[in-house]
């Protein structure tokens, strides 16, 4: 999620320069545990996540991005990263291309 947040910030920066106005992007995540880690300190068991977690928490608190949970079957990124069955592929394909 840390790499995705960096990519979102980079794209957001380009869009803001082109449009000459501030925007806020939403980072959708289908992993509730990852979102919970951002909201809590995590303790010693999550020490390796502390820098990424702090980075995402800080850019969210400053209003640069928003985070939201989406169900796995509605996660658009899955069509690019996972082999999907025909029906799941068709559903995401329709969502992305806005075919009705």
pLDDT 10s digits, 13-24: 999 999 999 988
Statement: residue 62 has pLDDT above 80? yes
- Note the pTM of the prediction, 2 decimals: 0.67
Angstrom distance (rounded) from CA 42 to CA 63: 22
How large a percentage of the chain has pLDDT more than 70? Answer: 83
Please state, rounded to an integer, the average pLDDT across all residues of the chain: 81
More confident call, 48 vs 5: 5
Name the burial class of residue 57, with classes exposed (0-12), middle (13-18) and buried (19+) by CB atoms within 10 angstroms of its CB.
Answer: middle
pLDDT of residue 14: 95
């Amino acid at each position: 999620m840390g790499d995705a947040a960096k990519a979102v910030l980079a794209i957001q920066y380009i869009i803001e320069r082109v449009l000459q106005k501030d925007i806020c992007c939403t980072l959708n995540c289908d992993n509730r545990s990852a979102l919970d880690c951002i909201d809590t300190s995590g303790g010693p068991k999550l020490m390796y996540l502390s820098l990424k977690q702090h980075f995402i928490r800080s850019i969210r608190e400053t209003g640069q991005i928003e985070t939201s949970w989406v169900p796995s079957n509605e996660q658009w990124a899955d069509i690019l990263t996972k082999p999907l069955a025909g029906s799941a592929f068709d559903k995401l394909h329709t969502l992305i291309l806005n075919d009705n």
